Amino acid sequence: MIAIIDYNAGNITSVARALHNIGQDFVITDDTKKLNAASHVIFPGVGAAGEAMAYLRQKKLDAWLQIWINTGKPLMGICLGTQIILDYSEENNTECIGLVTGSTKRFPEHLSSAGLALKIPHMGWNSVTLKRTHPVFSDIAPESEYYFVHSYYPSPSDETAVLGTTDYGMSFCSVLAVKNLIAMQFHPEKSGRPGLQILKNFCSWGGK
């Protein structure tokens, strides 16, 4: 069973709909007993880091995630659920969960590409350049594009944690992968066939 963590951070309906589309059973919950019974956990999210962390701490889900990651069972972060797995976020000056060493940073002002100013948030379709192969990205064309909407991006301290990068006036980490954790800044549930394939691959991934 796949579990989606419910922590009042939005976007859960879209993730649930995508899992339904690939024929995957799932549960949406903030109950740690139900989460413990899952084989895979998805940690999605849209919103502000400070508010999200306050809810996670209230429900003790931040501590639960620390325990879960050490079980070796797969965990997927999406958007805000990627940003707050690091130690710290510049958004709301927030201390975060610390599953990955590093911080989440805001895009600098005055980003540009080919002489044209770029808007923040980064919103729309963009590609990902993978640094190495990974089972969750199997059977997906390298030129595939994914849907992004964000003003902050993950910046891990250890470069080996970076699985994929994306260019938006600068190169930034758009996919993290460490052991049984994979986390992406884009929204696979809103990224058409490539995104659905990512979710399908994750649901069959053993975490190694």
Q: Is 189 labeled as catalytic in the residue annotation?
A: yes
- The first and second tokens of residue 98, run together, are 């610390």
Q: Which of 91, 122, 189, 203 is catalytic?
A: 189
Is 159 a residue of the active site?
A: no
Instruction: Please answer whether residues 86 and 101 qualify as being in contact, where contact means their C-beta atoms are separated by less than 8 angstroms.
Output: yes
**Catalytic residue of the set 40, 79, 96, 203:** 79
Would you call 90 a catalytic residue per the annotation?
A: no
Q: CA 49, CA 56: separation in Å to the nearest integer?
A: 10
* Identified catalytic residue from 96, 173, 187, 203: 187
Task: Name the residues annotated as catalytic.
Answer: 79, 187, 189
